[in-house]
Amino acid sequence: MKRSRVLLIAVLLLAGSVAVQAAEFHVAVTGDDKNPGTQAAPLRTIQRAANLAQAGDVITVHEGVYRERVNPPRGGESDAKRITYQAAPGEKVVITGSEIVKNWEKAGEDTWKVTIPNSFFGRFNPYADLIRGDWFAPKGRQHHTGAVYLNGDWLIEAAKLDDVLRPAGGRVGTAGQYLLNVAWIRPSGSTKRTAADRFAGKQGMKTAPCSEGGQCLGFIEHGHWARYEKVDFGTQSQSVEFRAASVSGGGDIELRLDKPDGELLGTCTVEDTGDWQAWASFSAKIKPTGGVKTLCVVFKSNRRAPALWFGRAEGDSTTIWAQFPGANPNEGNVEINVRRTVFTPEETGVNYITVRGFALRNAATPWAPPTAGQIGLISAYWCKGWIIENNDIGYSRCSAVALGKYSDEWDNRAESAEGYVGTLTRALAKGWDKATVGSHVVRNNHIHHCEQTGIVGSLGCSFSTVTGNEIHDIHLQRLFGGAEMGGIKFHGAIDVVISGNHIYRCGEVAGIWLDWMAQGAQVTGNFLHDNLSRDIFSEMQHGPLLIANNLLLSNRSFLINAKGMSIAHNLLRGPFQVIPYDGRKTPFHKAHSTEVAGLQDAAGGDHGFYNNLFTGSCNLNAFDNARLPCRAGGNVFTKGAQPSKFGRDELVKADFDPGVKLEQRADGWFLTVTEDTAWRDQVKRQLVTTALLGKAKIPDLPCENADGTAVKIDTDYFGRPRNAGNPFPGPFEVTDGGTRTVKVWPKP
């Protein structure tokens, strides 16, 4: 009897363990949602699998295109017992917010149109949905969350229908942009500059303020010209030099004799310098002319007019006009946005989800300010513990990845510092703390083609790690603006780690923008370049905030409206822009906590700069008059870089040109730089640690890791050990000097 009871208990325990064993649900385009979801009998939709999955389960999706929005109704229970959504290994799985549209009719030389019943869109019509919200700048026109795609790439929304009905193409400028500034021209070898405000005639262009002194030509678009008289070419001159700045893709300058259609003497290509006041020198070879001549400078934009679309929702239908030059849209792959997002829970608190290996594309995402619910192509919507990894995430009308705030009745009603403090107060009452929200991992994703941000997060991003991602082509159309654009844009990035990312070709405002409350954040080992405004913007921070081992290679490195930063072992090529004081009151917190300890304005300073390599126009003297004292030591200043008055134990090598050059090859990105191993012995440097960096003045807290352990910058950009007794300046621990070329992405 006793033995039978023991056997019965064992059988029941075994049955119970089988019942709670994790399940794997399979999804395939050949499946059926009535199936059980096995590999032999898969489901048809990811949403059906999401409805079935419980904590610990895995959803494996097989190759194909899935046109659906995934709304996970529940998450996992812990990091060890999460719900995982994954693409089957080695299979391409696309989840998209767009639908294929046929039945286009010819409506002009390059223009086609299609009329769609509004029932096609269900409850959400992106062509009736305007982009709007706090800190959004529409630039005098309307913008919709809809989009039109031809063979995977998107067309550009036109401001009015007439723009679409015209023939497509042509070289154009972009209205409202400084396409080119010309400060001066001169024949090569001459010391006499021809000031740009002394032109004898012009068409289209205006004068603009010039940081190089006086006035210069600005607002130049395709076809504009200026004529200069009495240019002395001497007898030997065979080239002309320019001092110019350009954005919006750059362009060509044609040098013509006497008038805009006169004899062509030569041409000069002006590359995009990243900012309308980021000056560079250019030269053009010309036919020998000799003597004193009249020179006409004609601008030719490198930008081709993009194909456009325009949508109008009226009554029971929506009509879309689009340009398809040289193509029949009924024979190509034309898609339009129909869904707001592709992977976002409707409810908050859906925790511990992994999303792995997908291509997530084409969503009608809304503007995502910090005061509203933030929705991206994929959104950890006021959740905890998501892992978003190894995905290709692109073509979001606004943001790709959102780690942000929930939505409530206060959405887009608080466009002020005081309003955001109110948002923060309500969020704390709703559970903004480490136990409830944040702690996400976003790693090894390819994030691209979004017109607001690559990754956005207000408060919900706290305690997260963003690492190994490639983020590019963000906010390049620049048809709308505002105060929320960047490769990464975070509010409340408490103890966030941003490491090992490659961020480039981001328009306004920065590659990385940390806005309010990045207390304890660390930005380390990132590679940033070709960002049109700047690499990093630190706004209204009180510290501590660590910036270390980064390659900052854009024309401008930093905009700083903050204090309490530690900047160590970076390679910086562009200047610092410093806002010395901002009277807004913003929060600082208790250590490693969301709990607010007080509010403080942004009196600049209290920064430390250690063991950096400053090149180009990088100007540490921008901090000489900071309200709070700064510290610096162990830095090297090469040709063009300006030291501070507060530095100690530093090297100024005014004649040393490190020759920084970046090159993209088939197998990655390569950096060429010249360094001198003598720098190690000429100045004795300390290892950068918590003890060296000291405390941030306002919160009275040290620069330390999220777990409270001490910071040690004892490895370099590549993770190689540093010389602890005397580390080499800059991001690389150099043992052999001279000129060398190293692969910086992907990291070896």
For every residue of 487-544, DSSP letters joined together read EEEEES-TT-EEES-EEEEE-SS-SEEEES--TT-EEES-EEE--SS-SEEEES--S-
CATH number at residue 281: 2.60.120.260
Same domain, residue pair 190 and 296:
yes
Q: Residue holding tokens 């003297």?
A: 621
Q: According to the model, what pLDDT value does residue 511 have?
A: 98
Q: Which of 515, 520, 694, 693 has its CA nearest to residue 590?
A: 520
CB 345 within 8 A of CB 73: yes
Question: Domains in the chain: how many in total?
Answer: 2
User: Does residue 704 fall inside a structural domain?
Assistant: no
Using the predicted structure, report yes or no on whether residue 622 has a pLDDT greater than 60: yes
Same domain, residue pair 259 and 225:
yes
Using the predicted structure, report yes or no on whether residue 522 has a pLDDT greater than 60: yes
Lowest-confidence range among 296-300, 440-444, 731-735? 296-300
Residues in the chain: 748
Token output for 242 = 């320019």
User: Does residue 138 fall inside a structural domain?
Assistant: yes
Same domain, residue pair 239 and 265:
yes
Q: According to the model, what pLDDT value does residue 302 have?
A: 63
Find residue 619's DSSP bridge partners.
Answer: 642
Same domain, residue pair 189 and 277:
yes
Cα–Cα distance for residue pair 396/240, rounded to 1 Å: 44
Other Cβ atoms less than 10 A from the Cβ of 424: the count is 24
Using the predicted structure, report yes or no on whether residue 3 has a pLDDT greater than 80: no
Q: According to the model, what pLDDT value does residue 18 have?
A: 41
Using the predicted structure, report yes or no on whether residue 275 has a pLDDT greater than 70: no
**Three-state DSSP state, 49:** helix
Average pLDDT score over residue span 227-251: 74
Residue 236 burial (C-beta neighbours within 10 Å; 0-12, 13-18, 19+): exposed
Q: According to the model, what pLDDT value does residue 398 have?
A: 98
- Quickly state the pLDDT bin for 199 (edges 50, 70, 90): confident
Largest pairwise CA distance in the chain: 120
Lowest-confidence range among 130-144, 184-198, 406-420, 693-707? 184-198
Q: Is 735 left (phi over 0), alpha (psi -120 to 50) or beta?
A: alpha
Same domain, residue pair 324 and 297:
no
Cα–Cα distance for residue pair 407/403, rounded to 1 Å: 13
Cα–Cα distance for residue pair 730/748, rounded to 1 Å: 19
User: Does residue 186 fall inside a structural domain?
Assistant: yes
Average pLDDT score over residue span 564-580: 96
Please report, rounded to a whole number, the percentage of residues in the chain having pLDDT higher than 90.
76
Using the predicted structure, report yes or no on whether residue 177 has a pLDDT greater than 80: no
Same domain, residue pair 214 and 267:
yes
Same domain, residue pair 138 and 189:
no
Cα–Cα distance for residue pair 406/438, rounded to 1 Å: 12
Q: How do residues 217-233 score in pLDDT, each as one tens digit? A: 777 777 888 888 888 77
User: Does residue 199 fall inside a structural domain?
Assistant: yes
Using the predicted structure, report yes or no on whether residue 212 has a pLDDT greater than 80: no
Same domain, residue pair 311 and 165:
yes
Q: Strand runs (DSSP E) across 368-452, as ranges? A: 378-379, 387-389, 392-396, 399-402, 441-443, 446-450
Which helix (H) or strand (E) segment holds residue 289: the answer is none
Q: Note the pTM of the prediction, 2 decimals.
A: 0.86
User: Does residue 326 fall inside a structural domain?
Assistant: yes
Q: How do residues 330-355 score in pLDDT, each as one tens digit? A: 999 999 999 999 999 999 999 999 99
Q: How do residues 635-681 score in pLDDT, each as one tens digit? A: 999 999 999 999 999 999 999 999 999 999 999 999 999 999 999 99
Q: According to the model, what pLDDT value does residue 321 have?
A: 98
Helices and strands (DSSP H and E) totals, the chain: 6, 64
617-643 burial, b for 16+ CB within 10 Å, e for fewer? bbbbebbeebeeebbbbbbbbbebbbb
Q: According to the model, what pLDDT value does residue 304 have?
A: 62
Q: Which of 301, 324, 359 delimits the end of a domain?
A: 301
Same domain, residue pair 309 and 297:
no
- Quickly state the pLDDT bin for 179 (edges 50, 70, 90): low
Average pLDDT score over residue span 493-502: 98
CATH number at residue 120: 2.60.40.1180
- Quickly state the pLDDT bin for 20 (edges 50, 70, 90): low
Q: According to the model, what pLDDT value does residue 16 have?
A: 46
Higher pLDDT, 282 or 19: 282
Q: What is the mean pLDDT of the chain?
A: 91
Using the predicted structure, report yes or no on whether residue 281 has a pLDDT greater than 50: yes
Using the predicted structure, report yes or no on whether residue 45 has a pLDDT greater than 80: yes
Domain span holding position 208: 180-301
Q: According to the model, what pLDDT value does residue 175 have?
A: 41
Same domain, residue pair 327 and 238:
no
Q: Which of 282, 301, 320 delimits the end of a domain?
A: 301
User: Does residue 145 fall inside a structural domain?
Assistant: yes
Q: Residue holding tokens 């490195």?
A: 557
User: Does residue 478 fall inside a structural domain?
Assistant: no
Q: According to the model, what pLDDT value does residue 36 have?
A: 98
Higher pLDDT, 175 or 603: 603
User: Does residue 137 fall inside a structural domain?
Assistant: yes
The contacts of residue 661 (CB under 8 Å, 6+ apart) are: 671, 672, 673
- Quickly state the pLDDT bin for 319 (edges 50, 70, 90): very high
Q: According to the model, what pLDDT value does residue 198 have?
A: 73
Same domain, residue pair 278 and 314:
no
Q: Which of 242, 273, 301 delimits the end of a domain?
A: 301
CB 547 within 8 A of CB 565: yes
Cα–Cα distance for residue pair 659/35, rounded to 1 Å: 63
Report phi then psi at 574, rounded to 5: -100, 170
Same domain, residue pair 294 and 213:
yes
- Quickly state the pLDDT bin for 292 (edges 50, 70, 90): confident
